[in-house]
Amino acid sequence: MTIFATNFFRVHKLGKGFFFLLFTFFVTNPVCSQSYTLNEIIEYAQKNSPEAIRIETAKENKYWQWRTYKSNYKPQLVLNSEFPYQNRNIPVLQDDGSIVYRRVNQSEATVDISLEQNISLTGGKLFLSSDLSRVDNFDGNMHSYSNSPFYIGIEQPVFRFNELKWMNKIEPLKYEESQREFIENNERIAYNTAYHFFNLLIAQINLRIANANLQTADTIFKTGQEKYAMGKISRNELLQLKFGVITAQKSKSKAMLSRETSQLELSSYTGLLVTETATLAIPDKIHHFFIDDSMAVEKALENSQRSLAFKREVLEAQRDLVKAKRESGLNANLQLSYGTTNVANDVTSLYREPQTLQTVNIGLSIPILDWGRAKAKRETALANLKLAEHTVEQDRINFRQEIITQVEYFSMLQGFIEYTRDANQTATERYEIARLRYIAEDISLTEYNIALEQKDYARQDYITALRDYWVTYYTIRILTLHDFENNRQLSTIN
């Protein structure tokens, strides 16, 4: 006898009722159905969801912004050129300073190369340059060259706002902010995935409850019809049983719609195709661990993106105030350069006995009358700084309070889940007893309906408590960027 035949014989010996239960299980739970855990879907969403792709792209964008900022402090090699252009009927400057308009037919081409280095401490710029020009006079069939083979110089603003100095303070904060923001967004994907996961899980459970309730209501209604025919129950009670079937049918329709909607939302957010046959495993393995309020606040202020944003917002307001003050006062620009220069009729002669090139240029800008515009800008910037400081201080207080609230709620939930689990088991057992007693005509329909409602409510309350636990768990990770369960700081690689 084969193993299958032996097992079938043993099952058959257990009775037709047990065989029917096995058949029902395999029909309602097909082998081909896919089962997912919360961690599996979160891991998939953090790698493949549209939101994961978006935050990865945003992180890359911030990286190249950082590279652009860093390039401001590195030497820049620049090549400039003007292609030959032709001039006719141009004014010609005479030796005595007068201008005579003559028909001139000439072209000029220029090329220069310059190595430049910004000075972040002073806001100036050092440069090392070389240039070469050629002029062709077509009327006289002549050409000449001029060049500056080598000259070094500095451009230095005086009393002017130093943009590079403030960039050096703010841009590193912005880059570090973007790194922490990426980690927070990754945890936020886990949070949203858990939320959608439980929405579908609750919808699936509600549908199973609705199916079971409909089946039970239909069975009890048919039993009620038999009792009514024998005169054991009144027509009013029979109508109540019929109304119970109608209510159960309505609940099933609503539960089916809710499941389809939740299923679509989970698939759309995670990018994972969750089919109707897919089942979600209840994440009921809760790890109990203690989170200290003070430690949570400390980790949040140390790790979170928001703590860096507080510093940056105040720095930006301080920068704007300094800028308003500097731009409304005396501004000067100093340019010094030293090198060599020469002119010749051929290129080789340009480098013979070059002449000294020296330039000094000072520019001044002094506001005299602006009808209070500069003062208004300064006062506006000062008011914005005060507002930023007060706003940041209030945000810090709110941030601390939010962390403490979430930590205390999380601690409460760890115990609350145990209560709801016990309530769920108790209500389920009580309902089963009430169902059997009602069939045996030992209790009234009202008592049966109360047990049914309590069973459904206790089941939903338990799953809702689990949802609150997990979304609060990920909320704390988002706020603190710290894994308190394993006592480690969160990073881009989890």
Distance CA 244, CA 249 (A): 9
248 and 178 fall within a common domain: yes
Domain count, the chain: 3
- Per-residue confidence band for 58, with pLDDT thresholds at 50, 70 and 90: very high
Stronger pLDDT, 365 or 279, i.e. the higher one: 279
**Nearest residue to 446 (alpha-carbon basis) of 236, 268, 188, 292:** 236
Domain around 183:
33-64+169-312+388-489
Indicate the pTM of the whole model: 0.77
140 three-state secondary structure: coil
Give CA–CA dist 193/187, Å, rounded.
Answer: 10
pLDDT band at residue 30 under the 50/70/90 scheme: very low
Cα(345)–Cα(356) distance, integer angstroms: 19
**279-310 pLDDT per residue, tens:** 899 998 888 888 999 999 999 999 999 999 99
Regarding whether 187 and 297 lie in a shared domain, the answer is: yes
With respect to residue 378, please indicate whether it lies within any of the assigned structural domains: no
Residue type, 47: K
Domain-located, residue 269:
yes
- Asked if residues 176 and 308 have their Cβ atoms less than 8 Å apart, the reply is yes
Q: What is the mean predicted confidence (pLDDT) over 367-379? A: 79
Q: In this prediction, what percent of the chain has a pLDDT beyond 70? A: 86
What average pLDDT does range 223-234 have in this prediction?
Answer: 86
Look at 482 and 491; give whichever has higher pLDDT: 482
Together in a domain, 20 and 140? no
Alpha carbon distances (Å) from 344 to 147, 348, 350? 9, 8, 6
> Hey, what are 89's tokens?
């009927």
Here the CATH number for the domain that contains residue 200 is 1.20.1600.10
Asked whether 317 and 380 are in contact (CB, 8 A), the reply is no
Residue, of 491 and 274, whose pLDDT is higher = 274
Q: Are residues 259 and 295 in the same domain?
A: yes
The answer to whether residue 397 sits within a structural domain is yes
Q: Which of 64-78, 108-122, 147-161, 351-365 has the lowest mean pLDDT?
A: 351-365
- Say if residues 409 and 465 touch (Cβ distance below 8 Å): no
Is the per-residue pLDDT at 334 higher than 80? Answer: yes
Verify that 17 and 92 share a domain, yes or no: no
Question: 400 and 352, same structural domain?
Answer: no
Cα-flanking dihedrals φ and ψ of residue 345, to 5°?
Answer: -90, -10
User: Of the candidates 147, 148, 146, 143, which has an alpha carbon nearest to the alpha carbon of residue 107?
Assistant: 143
Pick the more confident residue, 444 or 90: 444
Local structure of residue 283 (DSSP, 8 states):
-
Structure tokens belonging to residue 173: 């904060």
Residues 277, 198 within the same domain: yes
Considering the domain architecture, whether residues 106 and 146 belong to the same structural domain is answered as yes
